[in-house]
């Protein structure tokens, strides 16, 4: 008997001890573990992150490329830290666990309000005037429309936003819906859904789980292009007016930690990416952009205003 127990204890013990040791071997198992690993080597590493607006596979393909390219251009160690939640990305930026983050319009404003002095570095050419696309399931009977008033057709329908904190998948669409006289409580079930990401919204509307939803135009186009969105099942209903969206934001203290002029060099590096370089071309195409341009905090004043009116910014 004691032998049996001892061997059982041994097996359990070994299993428990070995399991976590496997963790660092694979992909970073989650938000929490990676930053700790990064922190042990502290100052020398530039930790970059992004809001999880698309499928993790795509993020995991794109950001290690970005990290590699920035590391090559700047001569510092760059590490991509995946985050699974929009609000967690904002918090991680505030607590200093991320140095450079690809934020959406709303999360960027939230991050800058929580971390005064944070620097807006760059946006994509398409972010100056970004659009949302309202999409509908073909069988739902919803038809494309050209006037904003057409949004009233969504009343009483099963409707899903993306993430709660998404600019193109929630904030601006809710604002356009409000202008057209549609409240969140007007949807079927008394509330909209929050799918979590643009890809999920497309899949859910296409399957019929929701009649309609709203996604960012760039993801919609990419999904049509690679066949993830099936035109016979899901269609665009309406394209919203333009508004400023995604941008790179950096911590205020990078110059102190990485040497004078580092923030400027970082900005220059991002702005220098061109499709002529094969590596950079890959990055740009995953971002769905031709190139990055300078961005100013002032451009996001409108987002802040809408955010305050909807209560997402306090």
Among positions 152-181, residues that touch other proteins (CB under 8 A) are 158, 164-165
Give the neighbor-by-neighbor strand order of the sheet with 292-294.
77-80, 45-50, 100-103, 247-250, 119-124, 292-294
Between 110 and 123, whose beta carbon lies closer to other proteins?
Answer: 110
Nearest of 27, 303, 23, 21 to residue 165 by alpha carbon: 303
Report how many residues bind other proteins under the rule CB under 8 A. Answer: 78
Contact criterion met (CB below 8 Å) for 76 and 38:
no
Q: Which of 181, 189, 241, 259 binds other proteins (CB under 8 A)?
A: 189
Binding range to other proteins, per CB under 8 A, among 55-63, 118-126, 212-220, 280-288: 55-63
- Residue 44 is a binding residue for other proteins (CB under 8 A): no
- Residue 48 is a binding residue for other proteins (CB under 8 A): no
User: To the nearest whole angstrom, how small is the minimum distance from the Cβ of residue 147 to other proteins?
Assistant: 27
- Residue 146 is a binding residue for other proteins (CB under 8 A): no
- Residue 115 is a binding residue for other proteins (CB under 8 A): yes
Residues 62 to 91: which contact other proteins by CB under 8 A? 81, 83-88, 90-91
Q: State whether residue 53 is helix, strand or coil.
A: coil
Angstrom CA distances, 150 to 18, 130, 139, 214, stand at: 58, 20, 18, 14
Angstrom CA distances, 17 to 9, 13, 24, 160, stand at: 12, 6, 13, 42
Between 57 and 226, whose beta carbon lies closer to other proteins?
Answer: 57
Residues 193 to 212: which contact other proteins by CB under 8 A? 193-197, 199-200, 203-204, 207-211
């Amino acid at each position: 008997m004691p032998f049996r127990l001892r061997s059982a204890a041994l097996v359990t013990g070994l299993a428990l001890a070995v399991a976590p040791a496997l963790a660092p071997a694979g992909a970073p198992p989650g938000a929490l573990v990676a930053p700790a690993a990064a922190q042990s080597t502290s100052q020398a590493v530039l930790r970059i992150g992004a809001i999880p607006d698309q499928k993790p596979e795509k993020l995991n393909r794109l950001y290690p490329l970005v990290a590699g390219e920035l590391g090559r251009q700047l001569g510092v160690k760059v590490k991509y830290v995946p985050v699974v939640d929009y609000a967690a990305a904002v918090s991680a930026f505030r607590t200093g666990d991320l140095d450079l983050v690809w934020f959406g319009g709303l999360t960027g404003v939230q991050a800058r309000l929580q971390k005064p002095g944070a620097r807006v570095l760059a946006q994509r050419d398409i972010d100056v005037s970004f659009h949302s696309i309202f999409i509908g399931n073909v069988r739902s009977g919803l038809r494309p429309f050209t006037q904003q008033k057409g949004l009233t057709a969504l009343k009483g329908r099963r409707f899903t936003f993306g993430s709660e904190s998404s600019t193109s998948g929630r904030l601006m669409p809710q604002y356009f819906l409000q202008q057209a006289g549609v409240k969140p409580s007007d949807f079927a079930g008394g509330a909209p859904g929050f799918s979590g990401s643009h890809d999920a919204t497309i899949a859910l509307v296409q399957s019929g789980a929701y009649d309609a939803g709203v996604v960012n135009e760039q993801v919609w186009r990419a999904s049509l292009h690679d066949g993830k969105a099936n035109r016979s099942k899901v269609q665009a209903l309406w394209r919203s007016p333009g508004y400023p969206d995604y941008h790179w934001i950096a911590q205020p203290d990078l110059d102190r930690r990485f040497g004078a002029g580092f923030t400027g060099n970082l900005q220059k590096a991002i702005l220098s990416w061109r499709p002529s370089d094969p590596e950079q071309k890959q990055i740009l195409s995953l971002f769905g952009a031709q190139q990055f341009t300078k961005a100013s905090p002032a451009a996001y004043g409108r987002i802040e205003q809408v955010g305050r009116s909807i209560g997402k910014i306090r």
